[in-house]
Chains A and B, each alone.
Chain A
Amino acid sequence: MADAAAPPDGRPLVALRGVCKHFGAGASRVDALADIGLTVQAGETVGLRGPSGSGKSTLLNVIGCVTEPSSGWMQLDGEPVYDGRWLRSDLRRLRLFRIGFIFQTHNLLSFLDSTENVAEAMELAGVRPREARTRAVALLDYLGVGHRAAAYPGALSGGEAQRVAIARALANGPRIILADEPTAPLDSVRAGAVMDLLRRIARDQQAAVLVVTHDETIFDRFDRLISMRDGRIEGEEVFARAGGAA
């Protein structure tokens, strides 16, 4: 099972036990997730691989509190959130403050420029507009796209758009970052750069980064790579590296 991974700082930010998710009932029942046990530590970058239908995205949705599990137990950032039922009603706020999402197709709002895309996420969390803009520009600088702060998504390259999307995911300082195929639209050089960035974020901000990917060229950039099949965790590889690779 994947729970056995060695945490870089010993603090689990994501913990799942016996999590199941099925769709339908009777003969048409599909078990999307079966008895999933998983922990991800602060500062750790974990990859999820597997064929289509293996349950990777469903697992990401469950951890993101977007899809309710059918059974099991789940704790996020030290707080139990699911134990046979949701333990808190304001999952939206949980997502807003503790989870950052990065998508396959950046999903930036096309009518907002880079700064506004990042600042909007901060304003949703109650940050004043002026302060949100200042912090958004600083975050874009940190991610190397400060020079594109006024550009709209349509004018950004794939790599730039993905960095702006990462900035938005980091807007409210989440401890858990979930990324669904973040390097899919990028070439191998840019994909590697994005992964290095995610590793740097995990290390600098002591966040747990969970990445769904098919991209074999970035497998070696994870601390652990978990393989899934038919809704189950099939195995995992642990990549030992000295001093991290950012």
Chain B
Amino acid sequence: MNLALRDVRRNKLRFALTGLGVGMLLGVVIAMMGIYEGALADALRLPRAEHADLWVVQLRTFGPFAEPSRIPRDTRDLIRRMPGVAEAGAVTFQTVQAMAGGKPVRLWLEGYEPGRPGGPANLSAGHGLTESHYQIVVDASSGLRLGQTVPLGPYRDPYTVVGLTHGMVSSSGDPVAWVTLLDAQALQFTVPPALARRERSAGRVAPTTADINAVLVRVMPAAAPAAVAGEIARWKHLAAVPEAEEERYLTLFVIQKMQQQLGLFMGILITVSAVIIALIIYTLTMDKLRAIATLKLIGAPDRVIVGLIVQEALVLGASGFAIGLVLIEQVKGYFPRRVQIEPRDLAVLFVVVIIVCLLGSVLGVRAAVKIDPAEALAGG
């Protein structure tokens, strides 16, 4: 006879409420894992969508996502003419803040040359850029609609939304937007006339609007990206970062802190869960002291008593895990950033929960094994 299941069956409501509590706690852990995986997926989505073999950036820098990179625009032409290079496209990246429809909108803006590497991916409505100026393609998560205008730049030029993408956000969660390279350069490097005059009067060169942040390179099928990268670094005094390396930089430099932060938080939550599960199991055991003493008195071996406690702990942990997962699956769409729940993470967490339950039941098992059968004979 399985005493644990019968106890659970008899005290359904109590176990359900306890499981709900544990489930909410584990739900937060699952959400943390999902937020990290979502941030990682978001961060890698843009560089992966570019389908570039190499990212050419300023010498001794780690690429446009990890740190600023500024190179002359003609770099793209120089790179394009190198052996083994199939295509090259100049791009710029910047964050812009605007007001649209009375609401603040923050965008991660990419400037690119239509027809060359770079540009919108996952287009779900409208079309790409068809004119040289004042058109913009944005991700649907920005809340902007087709045909809506967004004022950008020092002169607040109106950009018309001509296309919408799906699921394209930056590593910081901002929706990605695309404009032509010329527009992006103007937005990034143009200074108001008064400031330009002051710079010139002070003898300083006015900032150029001809710079770019990176060149995206696609190599020929027969060429090795590493070899082309070596040639670029040797002859052009630029850093050529392979796609995989660019992803590694992103993970290492941009996401790592978030990973550590979430990892520590998850560690604390799992520890708190362990303590709570241990206390719940201990309390459940204390509530059954007389029943356990009676079982021992009538001849139940310790394994029956230990089985009762450990199995209840496992039922609690497993049901809490399931409840937590269902809860997060229901609400993950309401999180401001992507929550991506990976089966691999769930499997690891499930194993951790089982271990936590086994450890958590140690306290209750110790108390149960120590109970003197004579307690059952005490008046009561």
The chain A residues found within 8 Å of chain B, CB to CB, are 57, 60-61, 64, 66-67, 92-93, 95-97, 101, 103-105, 107, 109-112, 116, 119-121, 123-125, 129, 152, 168-169, 180-181, 184
Q: Which of B244-252, B288-296, B337-345 lines the interface with chain A? A: B288-296
Flag if B297 contacts A101 (CB, 8 Å).
Answer: yes
Q: Which of A104, A116, A124 has the most CB of B within 10 A?
A: A124
Closest Cβ of chain A to B304, distance in Å, is 7
Can you list 19 pairs linking A and B with CB atoms under 8 Å apart? A66-B297, A66-B373, A67-B374, A92-B296, A92-B301, A95-B373, A97-B299, A107-B380, A109-B294, A109-B295, A111-B3, A111-B7, A111-B11, A121-B299, A125-B299, A129-B1, A169-B298, A180-B377, A180-B379
Chain B residues with Cβ under 8 A from A64's Cβ?
Answer: 297, 377
Cα-based distance from A99 to B291 in the complex (angstroms): 18
Chain A residues with Cβ under 8 A from B300's Cβ?
Answer: 92, 124
Cα-based distance from A129 to B300 in the complex (angstroms): 15
Chain A residues with Cβ under 8 A from B379's Cβ?
Answer: 104-105, 180-181, 184
Closest Cβ of chain A to B369, distance in Å, is 13
Contact of A103 among B1, B3, B304, B376 (CB under 8 A): B376
Flag if B301 contacts A107 (CB, 8 Å).
Answer: no
Flag if B377 contacts A95 (CB, 8 Å).
Answer: no
> At the interface, yes or no: B204 with Cβ under 8 Å from chain A?
no
Cα-based distance from A152 to B10 in the complex (angstroms): 9
Flag if B298 contacts A66 (CB, 8 Å).
Answer: no
CB nearest neighbor in A for B290: A107
Flag if B6 contacts A112 (CB, 8 Å).
Answer: yes
Chain A residues with Cβ under 8 A from B297's Cβ?
Answer: 64, 66, 95, 101
Flag if A107 contacts B376 (CB, 8 Å).
Answer: yes
Chain B residues with Cβ under 8 A from A121's Cβ?
Answer: 298-299
Contact of A101 among B1, B3, B304, B377 (CB under 8 A): B377
CB nearest neighbor in A for B294: A107
Knowing that A124-B298, A124-B304, A129-B1 touch, tell me 12 more A-B residue pairs with CB under 8 angstroms. A57-B377, A64-B297, A66-B372, A66-B373, A95-B298, A95-B299, A95-B373, A111-B3, A111-B10, A112-B1, A120-B3, A152-B10
Chain A residues with Cβ under 8 A from B295's Cβ?
Answer: 109
Chain B residues with Cβ under 8 A from A92's Cβ?
Answer: 296, 299-301
Closest Cβ of chain B to A82, distance in Å, is 16
CB nearest neighbor in B for A52: B379
Flag if B291 contacts A103 (CB, 8 Å).
Answer: no
Chain B residues with Cβ under 8 A from A120's Cβ?
Answer: 1, 3
Contact of B294 among A67, A93, A103 (CB under 8 A): A103
Closest Cβ of chain B to A173, distance in Å, is 13
A-contact bits for B1-33, CB 8 A (1 contact / 0 none): 101001101110000000000000000000000
Q: Which of B6, B294, B296, B372 has the most CB of A within 10 A?
A: B294
Closest Cβ of chain A to B145, distance in Å, is 59
Closest Cβ of chain A to B235, distance in Å, is 80
Interface residue SS majority, chain B? helix
Flag if A111 contacts B380 (CB, 8 Å).
Answer: no
Chain B residues with Cβ under 8 A from A181's Cβ?
Answer: 379
Cα-based distance from A12 to B284 in the complex (angstroms): 43
Cα-based distance from A125 to B299 in the complex (angstroms): 8
Cα-based distance from A178 to B288 in the complex (angstroms): 23
Known: A61-B374, A111-B10, A116-B6. A168 touches B380 (CB 8 A): no
Flag if A110 contacts B291 (CB, 8 Å).
Answer: yes
Closest Cβ of chain B to A101, distance in Å, is 6
Chain B residues with Cβ under 8 A from A129's Cβ?
Answer: 1
Cα-based distance from A92 to B303 in the complex (angstroms): 13
Contact of B298 among A60, A96, A119, A152 (CB under 8 A): A96
Chain B residues with Cβ under 8 A from A184's Cβ?
Answer: 379
Flag if A66 contacts B374 (CB, 8 Å).
Answer: yes
Closest Cβ of chain B to A206, distance in Å, is 21
Cα-based distance from A64 to B373 in the complex (angstroms): 10
Flag if A93 contacts B377 (CB, 8 Å).
Answer: no
Question: Which residues of chain B (173-222) have a CB below 8 Å from chain A?
Answer: none
Chain A residues with Cβ under 8 A from B304's Cβ?
Answer: 124
CB nearest neighbor in B for A181: B379
Cα-based distance from A103 to B239 in the complex (angstroms): 85
Question: Which residues of chain B (291-331) have a CB below 8 Å from chain A?
Answer: 291, 294-301, 304
Chain A residues with Cβ under 8 A from B9's Cβ?
Answer: 111
Closest Cβ of chain A to B275, distance in Å, is 26
Contact of A168 among B6, B7, B298, B301 (CB under 8 A): B298
Closest Cβ of chain A to B153, distance in Å, is 71
CB nearest neighbor in A for B291: A109
Chain A residues with Cβ under 8 A from B374's Cβ?
Answer: 61, 66-67
CB nearest neighbor in A for B293: A107
Cα-based distance from A125 to B10 in the complex (angstroms): 24
Question: Which residues of chain B (349-380) have a CB below 8 Å from chain A?
Answer: 372-374, 376-377, 379-380
Flag if A101 contacts B301 (CB, 8 Å).
Answer: no
Cα-based distance from A67 to B373 in the complex (angstroms): 9
Chain B residues with Cβ under 8 A from A107's Cβ?
Answer: 290-291, 294, 376, 380
Flag if B10 contacts A110 (CB, 8 Å).
Answer: yes
CB nearest neighbor in A for B296: A92
Closest Cβ of chain A to B5, distance in Å, is 10
Cα-based distance from A57 to B376 in the complex (angstroms): 12
Flag if A104 contacts B299 (CB, 8 Å).
Answer: no
Cα-based distance from A129 to B3 in the complex (angstroms): 13
CB nearest neighbor in B for A60: B377
Closest Cβ of chain A to B259, distance in Å, is 45
